[in-house]
Amino acid sequence: MKFDNILGTVGNTPVIRINKLAPAGIELYVKVEAFNPLGSVKDRLALGVIEAAERSGALKPGQTVIEATSGNTGIGLAMVCAQKGYPLVVTMAESFSIERRKLMRFLGAKVILTPAGLRGTGMVKKVDELAEKNGWFRTEQFSNEANADMHSKTTAQEILRDFEGGPLDYWVTGFGTGGTLKGVARVLAEKRPETKIVVCEPDAAPMLSSGIEQPHNPDGSPSASHPAWASHPQQGWSPDFISKLTQDAVDAHNVDQVLRIDNAAAMRWSRELATQEGIFVGISSGATFAGALQVAAEAPKGSTILCMLPDTGERYLSTPLFADVSIDMTPEELEISLSTPSGHVAPAA
């Protein structure tokens, strides 16, 4: 298969059946967004918002693009901007993994770190400050309709195609910008109304399920961190505010259930997907999969569930997800290394 450039490879990610980890009587599938060229679902967003801005004329040739990101959107934007020739500046809280900032810089982006204590709202405010000062183009991923539109045009259509003629009882996702949620949920609501939409969020940051409203500025943007938010390791999921796109999906009654996922479950199921199914994904994917298993435990026998897995595990090498993975040989590996060809341990010298 030939492509004119790397951007043609965005999307068309595989849906994979879960075999060992699926409960008996449940058809459980995952959509593995790590198959996007830069390893995450945010490659779709990045391409969608840039090309929409080009079509509208909002983005001028050679203009600098700026965005606030936990990493994956910035990495996707770095790919798109590198191919299209736009300078890119991203702001990112210093608490996010170092792999992400290195990848963005490797792709040519400039990364401006903001204090961890200022959280996601701090990243966004820095973007506003720099964009206004320099006349840069803001992609505004948390409110840009082109984000959700891209998922309606690609992710949702792929799901409809892959489950055409068969059941799809539940679709399980997390939320960050809300683009995947809004874009896919509205299509499923129209084309597959029998499919229940299940949204997962960190147990430490239950913004959707808390019943507490997000503080807003007069223009509708978040004015401060959500009162129910607390720090959590599920990077890319649940910034410290509810985005406009996420709220749109809720207001449209396109969310049937919200599940709270604890950090231990997110870590566990990311590891289990790797060791039991050979699927290498990050913490937020483990969290979404944990949610899918909760759904499966209560779903009628014969139900079909599709779970979104947002990104690759390589984004998390410096995080607690890999804390127990040794860089040196383990005792078991040392024993293997000292074994003779017959399988007996060689005597000590």
> How far is residue 259's CA from residue 199's CA, in Å, rounded to a whole number?
6
Q: What is the 3-state secondary structure (H, E, C) of 19-49?
A: CCCCCCCCEEEEEEHHHCCCCECHHHHHHHH
Contacts of 304 (CB under 8 A, 6+ apart): 26, 27, 28, 29, 163, 166, 167, 168, 169, 170
Residue 107, by phi and psi: left (phi above 0), alpha (psi -120 to 50) or beta? alpha
**What is the longest distance spanned by two Cα atoms in the chain?**
77
**Among 6, 187, 27, CA closest to 82:** 6
DSSP 221-259: SB-S--TT----S-TTS--SS--HHHHHHHHTT---EEE
Which of 238, 270, 284, 303 does the annotation list as catalytic? 284
Which one of the listed residues 42, 126, 182, 196 is annotated catalytic? 42
Q: Which of 86, 222, 66 is nearest to 130 (CA)?
A: 66
Rounded to an integer, what distance in angstroms lies between the CA atom of residue 160 and that of residue 164? 6
Q: How far apart are CA 216 and CA 244, in angstroms?
A: 11
**Is 42 an annotated catalytic residue?**
yes
CA distance 302 to 46: 37
Distance, in Å, from the CA atom of 236 to the CA atom of 234, rounded to the nearest integer, reads 6
User: What span, in angstroms and rounded, lies between the C-alpha atoms of 196 and 210?
Assistant: 21
Contact 192, 168 (CB under 8 A): yes
Please list the helix, strand and coil fractions of the chain in percent, rounded to the nearest 5, in that order. Answer: 40, 15, 40
> Which residues are known catalytic residues?
42, 284
